[in-house]
Structure 1
Amino acid sequence: MAASHIPVKRPRTYVLIHGAWHGGWVWKETATELRYMGHEVYTPSLTGLGDRAHLAHEGITLDTHTDDIVNLICMEQLNDVVLVGWSYGGMVVSNVLARIPERIGAVMYFDAFVPESGKCLADYAGEKGRVFRERTWPDQRVPPFPLKAFGVTDEKLCERVQKRLVCQPLQTFLQPSKALAERPAIPHSYVMAAAYDGTPFQQFYDKFNHDPGWSVHTLNTGHLAMLTDPVGTFGLLADVAPGFNHVGYAGEVSRR
């Protein structure tokens, strides 16, 4: 990535949450660029996923993953956190915000689910949501979907990423969210990856596009934007931090 590594005036602390089947590794390039800018960045893998796949068991729920992030933030004594959730990670962001709102300085839903309290991921996933509920899943774990379904067309990238994916604990898709009914008065951003068919995230983009409390953006790429458009991804995440110098990134970014 050709970015100008000019330190920001006010470094921020980022916690980047990955999506289903992935791990913290998916944010590696983005995290590297943010650190070059002087920010502190955490990219944890949720229990049972990524480098913590060996901890998988049937009892893992959305609450488990919420605890992962809450404990990270509290044990590391982080404050004014820029909390970013991608895809399923948006479910986790909403729960974390409800648990420790005093530690969160800004949130970004990056092509992600934004649940209402009492609703689960399956409620927003259309036909896939019905399948999650009705099919019998061995060991209560859902195998990863083909990446082409998410707009990834690069065969080499598909091969490289697919072999790193692991099964997702089923109950993370079915446990209802504990999101706040009224969100705290901190910056909220929504990013939609607009270049693939059948996205379940259009509903959230449409919901927040005319909400003055949200900053809404699109990226002209598929769901794995941090891998297919790393420059645009970095630019949007860095934009959350006041004092960011825009020289050096030029992704295909559309801002409202």
Structure 2
Amino acid sequence: MATFVLVPGGWHGSWAFEAVVPLLERAGHTVHPLTLTGLHPHDDPATIATANLDTHTDDVLRLLERAHLDDVTLVGHSYGGMVITAAADRAGGRVSRLVYLDACVPRDGDSCWSLMNEGYRQSFVTGAATTGYAVQPPWRPDGDPRRRPHPLAALLQTVRLTGAHADVPRREFVHCSGWEDRTPFADQRTRLLADPAWTVHDLPTAHNAMREAPQAVAALLLDGADGPGEDDAVAGTHGAAPPPARRAEHRTAR
């Protein structure tokens, strides 16, 4: 059985994966959805003001240590890609698979800020105007009311990588193609398609695929996970499972 650690994107908490978690657990896997420091409802202004990318990386590493987790699949959505990359780089070989769910895939010296497009950067500036340290969630008609202000420092801090994250044997990028007019990840998809160390999947959803298409996200995560019958478990929970996410032409050997 596999062990999944699910890291949400900006403004979100563990609840972002609430529709995916039971599908993975029904298939017999262990799942740890995280809420990062500064994103809890009870976190005070001082906690939010001091939280940064290192803080969030430590959130993941403390979980791995506390729960004695090994052979872990780290899943990061959006900003969460920054966190899982840094955590994998420092985890001492405990991570066996990285899944970037429409997420930042940084190289050494990158930040969430540097990887975003101008629209997102402007939303960071505008969202932090009131406090100077916490970025308010951007207004959307379908925005979840549970979203919290995101620590600005976490979005600005550059990641420092030793290169150990590149030793993770299985690395996957999920491109959500249903918001092509706004996505900041199109160039990143092109880069990863050209890299033989990566597998790229496409999902025809908007950015929050785990909410829009939880069955498809679960099926993708279960693809290749240890143990028989995962797809059957997904189908048995919420009706017929969707077909696996479309693979890009470029695939890597497992």
| Contact 1:122–1:130 (Cα < 8 Å) also in 2 | no
- Secondary structure (helix, strand or coil) at the match of 1:112 reads coil
Q: Provide structure 2 residue ranges, at least 5 long, that are not aligned to the other structure.
A: 236-240, 249-254
- For residues 162-184 of structure 1, the C-alpha deviation after alignment (integer angstroms, 9 at most, x for no partner) is x1111100000111012343610
| Contact 1:45–1:51 (Cα < 8 Å) also in 2 | no
Among 201, 206, 210, the alignment partner of 1:222 is: 206
Among 125, 136, 149, the alignment partner of 1:167 is: 149
Among 239, 246, 252, the alignment partner of 1:254 is: 246
State percent identity of aligned pairs. Answer: 32
RMSD: 2.1
- Secondary structure (helix, strand or coil) at the match of 1:145 reads coil
| Contact 1:85–1:93 (Cα < 8 Å) also in 2 | yes
Among 131, 137, 141, the alignment partner of 1:144 is: 137
2:35 maps to 1:45: yes
| Contact 1:133–1:174 (Cα < 8 Å) also in 2 | no
Equivalent position of 1:62 in the other structure: 53
- For residues 115-151 of structure 1, the C-alpha deviation after alignment (integer angstroms, 9 at most, x for no partner) is 111111100112133664697451411111134xxxx
Displacement of 1:203: 1.8
Amino acid across the alignment from 2:32 = Y
| TM-score (norm: length of structure 1) | 0.85
Among 102, 108, 119, the alignment partner of 1:111 is: 102
| TM-score (norm: length of structure 2) | 0.85
- Secondary structure (helix, strand or coil) at the match of 1:203 reads helix
Partners in 1 of 2:28 and 2:174 — Cα distance?
A: 23
Amino acid across the alignment from 2:103 = A
Q: Provide structure 1 residue ranges, at least 5 long, that are not aligned to the other structure.
A: 1-10, 148-154
Aligned length: 235
- Secondary structure (helix, strand or coil) at the match of 1:41 reads strand
Partners in 2 of 1:214 and 1:137 — Cα distance?
A: 40
Displacement of 1:209: 1.3
